[in-house]
Amino acid sequence: MKKLCIFDLDGTLTNTITAIAHFGNTALASQGFAPIETEKYKKLVGDGRTVLIHRMLAYYDADTPEMFDKVCAEYDRCYEADPMYKTGPYDGIPELLNELKALGVKIAVCSNKPHNVVCSVVKTVFGDMFDIVKGIADGDKTKPDPGCALKIMANEGCGRGECVFIGDTNVDIFTAKAAGIESIGVLWGFRDRRELEGAGAEHIAERPDEILRIVKEGEQ
């Protein structure tokens, strides 16, 4: 059985696409841009807030340094003021986490969102359930850089064969590969099976309870 599960946040633990689209479109509107459809945000997200803003502006062929600074500042201001806007866990996730904890498996969050927002969301939605919660702070590199995952593994004293990374995008699968650990791609998030399998996910889960089976069957 695996000893450590490292989870992505958006699209894996929490359904946040409506919130991301809301704050993204609010920031765009502050500079006179029309909203981008919520469904399109599923392809814009995944590589962190900075890349998201660049992609939003590129959608309007307006990705200049000056415009980026204005939209990014408004996005951060709005999101940090109301980080729980239309945000909650996917069905089956709380039950999965409780089962993992009951088995003695350590659980962690590794997200490309700003660290303060990640901590606020995780604390509000899941309380103190997670052993480690990490977002992006000054000096951190975003996934797929494996730095965050490797720090979590080192903190918990877990080897590569004892860990699994769980996420909904190719960024998460690439992160797992860079860290040298197994990956589980989930299908209830923002991307599809083709992307996850194309990125090289060792496992695909259609429902949260399938993760439990994969973890139990993992290497000792």
Residues 47-62 pLDDT 10s: 889 999 999 999 999 9
Q: Output the pLDDT for position 218.
A: 62
Mean local confidence (pLDDT), 68-74: 98
pLDDT reading at 219 higher than 70: no
pLDDT tens digits, residue range 23-39? Answer: 999 999 999 999 999 99
- Tally the residues of the chain: 220
User: How is residue 15 written in tokens?
Assistant: 């359904």
Report yes or no: 56 and 50 within 8 Å, Cβ to Cβ: no
Q: Output the pLDDT for position 192.
A: 96
pLDDT tens digits, residue range 156-191? Answer: 999 999 999 999 999 999 999 999 999 999 999 999
Mean local confidence (pLDDT), 193-211: 97
CB-based contacts of 175-180 (< 8 A; 24+ apart in sequence): 175/110, 175/143, 175/144, 175/145, 175/146, 175/148, 175/149, 176/149, 177/144, 178/144, 178/145, 178/146, 178/149, 179/146, 179/149, 179/150, 179/153, 180/146
In the chain, the largest separation of any two C-alpha atoms, in whole Å, equals: 55
pLDDT tens digits, residue range 125-148? Answer: 999 999 999 999 988 999 999 999
pLDDT tens digits, residue range 203-218? Answer: 999 999 999 999 998 6
DSSP tag of 163: E
Q: Output the pLDDT for position 46.
A: 85
pTM listed for this prediction: 0.92
Q: Output the pLDDT for position 220.
A: 40
pLDDT above 70 as % of the chain: 99
Q: Output the pLDDT for position 101.
A: 97
Report yes or no: 185 and 197 within 8 Å, Cβ to Cβ: yes
User: How is residue 177 written in tokens?
Assistant: 């590969």
